Structure 1
Amino acid sequence: MPIAKGYAATDASQPLAPFTFERRDPNDDDVVISIKYCGICHSDIHQARNEWGNSRFPMVPGHEVAGVVTAVGSKVTKFKVGDHVGVGCFVDSCTTCASRDLDVEQYMPGLVQTYNDVEADGKTPTFGGYSDSIVVKEGYVLSFPENIPLDAGAPLLCAGITLYSPLAHWKAGPGKKVAIVGMGGLGHMGVQIGAAMGAEVTVLSQTLSKQEDGLKFGAKHYYATSDQSTFEKLAGTFDLIICTVATAIDWNAYLSLLKVDGTMVLVGAPEHPVPVHAFSLIPGRRTLAGSMIGSIKETQEMLDFCGKHNIVAQVETIPVSQINEAYERVLKSDVRYRFVIDMASLA
């Protein structure tokens, strides 16, 4: 089996540390990728620290994987050595159930996550992108447009698709008023993508500290939610609100900002339950919904869309040795807007 190097969490209470492990042998439908960059997602922190209660150790996190193809199996037709490719949040899924035809495999049984999971054989652990290489089935490898650099493109594979999918599903576009709650790694992608779709985008952030950036990314308006008058001014304004924050906020207050038949979509997952009052929904026939990443087909669609509109993540590139420091900075919102690990630093 090929030997890989990376960084792993060996226990929920311990910092990530260097880790050597075995990748599975490539099959004839596999693509072997030399990982060049991997983004740091807030969910990596949740899982490395077992905050969702389902962590498997040792764990090599990372599902915003960008690299270069170094080998392909004999049955691979879509990729060749040298191609710039990515791997997102899952590396296998149900291939037989009828629901796959709906291009929503991320919601189906049989989904195999890129890390903190086991392969379809039920025993081989999956290890993620905080490493120097990965072996993935051809059908779960994504192609980067030529104008998208690997470092700034890596976060598109989670942050990008996490916002693109609900914006597309709820038909953000001309004539639609869309609010993005939170101006972080997810939020800054939502502003760019929503604006490129033609929607009128408003940022709702705790403070105005990132207002200049929000407007530069394409937002038409920017409000501080720490100012109670914001909720009075904007009551009944939005067709769609996408909430990216992973902390407990008053969802009822944000629901009041929706128009009749408006929808608030959760993509950030707070650690603890958040109460929702029935009368935050009933009088306006409002909907509170959730959304999780996107299918492989939709993720490729998102990458092509970002290539067409020159949309990338705003990143701070770090060596692998700074992962633990980066985790703490993410928790303090001390990054604009996504950390990306340079895997060349593993050497």
Structure 2
Amino acid sequence: MATRPPSLPTQMKAQFLDAFNTSYALRSVLLPTLTSAHDILIKVDAASYCHTDAVLGAGKMPPNPPSFPHVGCHEFAGTVVSIPPNFSSPSSFKVGDRVGVPGRAFHPCGACFECSSPEGPDADPPGYSVYCPHSKNNGISTDGGFREYAVVDSRQVAPIPEGMSAVDTAVLMCAGVTIYAALKRCGLIPGQRVGIMGCGGGLGHLGVQFAVAMGFKVTGVDNADAPLKLARSVARGATIVDAREQEASEVAVQVGQEDGKKDRGDMGLDAVIILPESQRAFDYGVGLLRNHGKCIVVSFPEQGFHLSSRDLVFRDISVMGSLVGSNKTLREMLEFATKHNVRASVRTLPLSKLNELVVEYHKGEGGKLVIDMALPDEQS
């Protein structure tokens, strides 16, 4: 099986983690090779930094740590430069196609329960599942996008809509599909109320835009100046709350009165999505809910969250986790983002400046940070 056309270089630059809690190291290595009929080789055009990259780099990513040296990034985008000569299917990609690449799922087994028995209206057809326990995940359990070229599974990627840049696409490959899927999991209809805890973060400010475009009444909550400023800049009619100034109970009563509710248990939001890892954010989010409301948990702090049995039993609050989305959902999200002009606030740096990007990330100023391969190394 041919692995690359002769016009491609034999070496590339990549940023490696050689141990936990260390800086990335830039060095040259051979291009990766195709090993499966489903593989395609892409030239990486943009690679986005995610909170999970920080968690992984600190050695706190469950359940299994990566092997070193490791190339991170599980949300990236690029251009197809090589495909196996025997690769053919109705959804085949060709050289020159632009694709967005999520982390999950690289080489799923195709035969386990998850792959053979997909559940729900957004599941992919039998034979492929992003939840396959035997698959690898780009940027987590196998190498990802912080390199000039990458091998990806053609079943996991999505075509980039015309008019959307690689930088805009990259941030949607995890942050975008994760918050989009979480919003769908809320099970709401237009006109109902949803809250987004951490509305000024990478996922949060995208979630505000998606939720408004879905027709929901949106309440975004954050507790720092820069994220709140970002959230308000993309609010599009959403209500943005500073948690330092208003208690959850006050916000719940306020929206209840706007809806003409008279009973306290009926006042509040129909659903809330928890993005921060703090217990206070979790408690605040649950406090926003009306009785019978739904709490969707996206974050996974190392110590977990404490749940009040009183909320579960006496208020009938339901709690559900949400992790990324199927390839079907990924493609739907991209089309939705294009139609409704959902875009992330991004700052870009070249591949050589990845360690500077990580420093910027830890400042917690919101938005997304992206490696743009088109930027010259000297740009900062």
**TM-score, with length taken from structure 1:** 0.90
Q: Is the 8 A contact 1:6 1:60 kept in 2?
A: yes
Question: CA offsets per residue over residues 73-126 of structure 1, 9 Å max, x none?
Answer: 232442111111011012232412454333273333223211232xxxxxxxx2
**Aligned letter for 1:184?**
G
1:59 to 59, 70, 74: 70
Question: CA offsets per residue over residues 292-314 of structure 1, 9 Å max, x none?
Answer: 00111211111111122222222
Q: Is the 8 A contact 1:252 1:280 kept in 2?
A: no
Compute the displacement of 1:216 (Å).
4.0
The equivalent residue for 1:166 is: 182
Q: Is the 8 A contact 2:161 2:334 kept in 1?
A: yes
**1:237-316, aligned counterparts within 5 Å?**
237-316=268-347
Query: Any idea what SS the aligned residue of 1:81 has?
Result: coil
1:227 matches 2:251 = no
**Aligned letter for 1:28?**
A
Instruction: State percent identity of aligned pairs.
Output: 29
1:339 matches 2:369 = yes
C-alpha distance 256-281 of structure 1, shift in aligned 2 (>3 A) = farther
1:25 matches 2:34 = yes
Question: CA offsets per residue over residues 318-339 of structure 1, 9 Å max, x none?
Answer: 11232222223222213x4100
Q: Is the 8 A contact 1:31 1:76 kept in 2?
A: no
1:144 matches 2:155 = no
Higher normalized strand content (fraction of residues): 1
Question: CA offsets per residue over residues 209-234 of structure 1, 9 Å max, x none?
Answer: 55454344224211111225343332
Q: Is the 8 A contact 2:77 2:167 kept in 1?
A: yes
Query: Any idea what SS the aligned residue of 2:168 has?
Result: helix
**1:36-55, aligned counterparts within 5 Å?**
36-52=45-61, 54-55=64-65
**Aligned letter for 1:234?**
A
**1:312-327, aligned counterparts within 5 Å?**
312-327=343-358
Q: Is the 8 A contact 1:166 1:291 kept in 2?
A: yes
1:112 matches 2:112 = no
2:151 to 126, 135, 138: 135
C-alpha distance 277-35 of structure 1, shift in aligned 2 (>3 A) = same
Compute the displacement of 1:272 (Å).
2.3
Aligned residues: 338
Q: Is the 8 A contact 2:197 2:273 kept in 1?
A: yes
1:92 matches 2:107 = yes
Question: CA offsets per residue over residues 186-206 of structure 1, 9 Å max, x none?
Answer: 101101111111111111111
The equivalent residue for 2:6 is: none
Task: Give the distance between the partners of 1:70 and 1:287, measured in 2 at CA.
Answer: 46
**1:167-186, aligned counterparts within 5 Å?**
167-182=183-198, 183-186=200-203
Q: Is the 8 A contact 2:34 2:40 kept in 1?
A: no
Q: Is the 8 A contact 1:5 1:18 kept in 2?
A: yes
Q: Is the 8 A contact 2:46 2:76 kept in 1?
A: yes
Compute the displacement of 1:19 (Å).
3.4
**Aligned letter for 1:136?**
V
**Aligned letter for 1:243?**
I
C-alpha distance 275-27 of structure 1, shift in aligned 2 (>3 A) = closer
Compute the displacement of 1:169 (Å).
2.4
**TM-score, with length taken from structure 2:** 0.82
The equivalent residue for 1:35 is: 44
Q: Is the 8 A contact 1:5 1:346 kept in 2?
A: no
Which runs of 5 or more residues in structure 1 are unaligned? 118-125
Task: Give the distance between the partners of 1:142 and 1:260, measured in 2 at CA.
Answer: 39
2:207 to 178, 187, 190: 190
Q: Is the 8 A contact 2:34 2:84 kept in 1?
A: no
Q: Is the 8 A contact 1:35 1:129 kept in 2?
A: yes
The equivalent residue for 1:120 is: none
Compute the displacement of 1:256 (Å).
2.1
1:68 matches 2:86 = no
Question: CA offsets per residue over residues 116-172 of structure 1, 9 Å max, x none?
Answer: 32xxxxxxxx21000001112221221110021111121100000010101112234
Query: Any idea what SS the aligned residue of 1:234 has?
Result: helix
**Aligned letter for 2:369?**
F
Query: Any idea what SS the aligned residue of 2:151 has?
Result: strand
Q: Is the 8 A contact 1:249 1:274 kept in 2?
A: no
Task: Give the distance between the partners of 2:151 and 2:169, measured in 1 at CA.
Answer: 20
Query: Any idea what SS the aligned residue of 2:336 has?
Result: helix
Q: Is the 8 A contact 1:153 1:313 kept in 2?
A: no
Task: Give the distance between the partners of 2:249 and 2:273, measured in 1 at CA.
Answer: 16
